[in-house]
Structure 1
Amino acid sequence: MSKTLLIRILLLIVGIIITIDCAVLMIIGKINFGSVVPFIIGVIFVIHGIYWERIRRFIRHHPLFKRVWYGLWGLFILWLISFMVFVWSLQQQIERSQQPAPTVAAIIVLGSGTVAGKPTPTLAKRLDTAAPLIDAQPNAIVITSGGVGFQRSRSEADIMASYLHETHRIPFERILQEGKSTSTEENLANSQALLAAQGVSITDPIAIVTSDFHTIRAARIARHQGYTHSITIASPTPLSIRYNAWFREYFAFVSGWLFGEY
């Protein structure tokens, strides 16, 4: 098998997998940076896999396009290296976040979307991960954090509290609701008033429960806001969206850095 044919087959297989995966996500309503960008990349891979020879012949006769073509591939390789570094760092953070949690003064569960008045699978995993910790630490303050989404009537925090009560038998009296936030930054900022009202300082040990892919960004935002003893607790991401979530989180991490969230 020639090197050219191997490249074409690899591009075609990878492109088809990425395109189908992202198309399915967009069909079910998950239209965001982490689905649209890889979908475009997948389509480009498929086109290159099918028309590789035609593209090579075209750029050979057009020096300007040849430079642009090689430049774009060079940028893609650099981006791929940076993404691999991010994934490695994320895996290290996930391993640290899966260690047994010490005694904490509060447990904050970050929101992640609801559908028809129920937590999404990703959010349900966060709540399922938080429940044993809540049971094991009866003196810890519990906060569910998430606002009212677009075309929703209940806050995410309220739906999260109901899930903890109905699924894990955690009393409503133990759960404080922060129902105004629309981002991780707001989740943690708005929770500070609830903590202060209960006599808990953000310098006390505080557990932040979130999805595994989200642990790096959540930890950095918390540290930037003054949570000096925050402990991130990682919940598993459903396999069907795991790698797309990691991809999307890479761009969210870069965006957070650019906009000064940490």
Structure 2
Amino acid sequence: MACNTQVLQQHYGFNRLWYGLWAVFILWLLSFALFIWSLQQQITLSQQPAPTVAAIIILGSGTVAGKPTPTLARRLDTAVPLIETQPDALVMTSGGVGFQRTRSEADIMATYLHEAHGVPFERILQEGKSTSTEENLANSRALLEAKGLSITDPIAIVTSDFHSIRAASIARHQGYTQPITVASPTPLSIRYNAWFREYFAFVSGWLLGEY
């Protein structure tokens, strides 16, 4: 009798664990679905024509052999029409010196804008110390204020479409009252992998208090 009771207790415990794991998985799936829906809404918003802005901040995304990665090049290419149609806006490239690198990402980005699109160096302000999105925007804020601009002004933030919701959230947390994300497209071959990774990056940022 005692043996049967023990077996029943073990069976009951196993069922509770099984249902608990399923509940956790369903909650995670719902949170992931909500994130993807929110991301798609942000991407749609980011693809609308930008209003007049005081500054255009282009966030870094890695370099290879002194050149922007394809993802970063897309961000820079996406920023160019806005740069051309808003000649009074300050242009800022943001990204520090990577591991075993000698040039800052901001410098490489500025060079690309000048050589590939003819953007004058004189118009580009470089923020070359940051190593994360949070630092990108915090350091850019200091440079903007040094130029007499305020983060209460409309500020365009150019980044990859999958990164737009996190960038906007961090900007608002830091006091940017009118952040306007401008989304560059992610190639279809890596799009869904990028969205999946961004979900965990967003959760990590929330846990770290970035927004």
TM-score by length of 1: 0.73
Map residues 217-232 of structure 1 onto 2, 5 A cutoff: 217-232=166-181
Q: CA deviation at 1:66?
A: 5.4
Q: Residue 187 of structure 2 aligns with which residue?
A: 238
Q: CA deviation at 1:67?
A: 4.6
Question: CA–CA distance in 1 between the matches of 2:14 and 2:204?
Answer: 30
Map residues 103-252 of structure 1 onto 2, 5 A cutoff: 103-252=52-201
TM-score by length of 2: 0.90
Q: Residue 78 of structure 1 aligns with which residue?
A: 27
Q: CA deviation at 1:142?
A: 0.4
Higher RCO (CA-CA < 8 Å; seq separation 6+)? 2
The runs of 5 or more residues in structure 2 that have no matched partner are 1-9
Q: CA deviation at 1:64?
A: 5.2
Q: Residue 44 of structure 2 aligns with which residue?
A: 95
Q: CA deviation at 1:77?
A: 2.3
Question: CA–CA distance in 1 between the matches of 2:118 and 2:187?
Answer: 23
Code of the residue aligned with 2:55 in structure 1: it is: A
Is residue 121–residue 238 contact of structure 1 (8 Å, CA) maintained in 2? no
Question: CA–CA distance in 2 between the matches of 1:165 and 1:155?
Answer: 16
Question: CA–CA distance in 2 between the matches of 1:241 and 1:76?
Answer: 25
Instruction: Calculate the aligned-residue CA RMSD, in Å.
Output: 1.5
Residues 83-107 of structure 1 deviation map (CA, whole Å, 9 limit, x = unaligned)? 0111001101111111100111100
Q: CA deviation at 1:70?
A: 4.3
Question: CA–CA distance in 1 between the matches of 2:129 and 2:189?
Answer: 29
Q: Residue 7 of structure 2 aligns with which residue?
A: none
Is residue 103–residue 137 contact of structure 1 (8 Å, CA) maintained in 2? yes
Question: CA–CA distance in 2 between the matches of 1:205 and 1:67?
Answer: 52
**Which structure has the highest helix share of the two?**
1
Any idea what SS the aligned residue of 1:160 has?
helix
Paired residues, number: 202
Any idea what SS the aligned residue of 2:210 has?
coil
Code of the residue aligned with 1:99 in structure 2: it is: Q
Question: CA–CA distance in 1 between the matches of 2:195 and 2:64?
Answer: 21
Q: CA deviation at 1:76?
A: 1.9
Question: CA–CA distance in 2 between the matches of 1:240 and 1:154?
Answer: 30
Code of the residue aligned with 1:82 in structure 2: it is: S
Code of the residue aligned with 1:168 in structure 2: it is: H
Q: CA deviation at 1:109?
A: 0.2
Q: CA deviation at 1:72?
A: 2.7
1:253 is the counterpart of 2:164: no
The runs of 5 or more residues in structure 1 that have no matched partner are 1-60
Report sequence identity in percent: 82
Q: CA deviation at 1:62?
A: 6.9
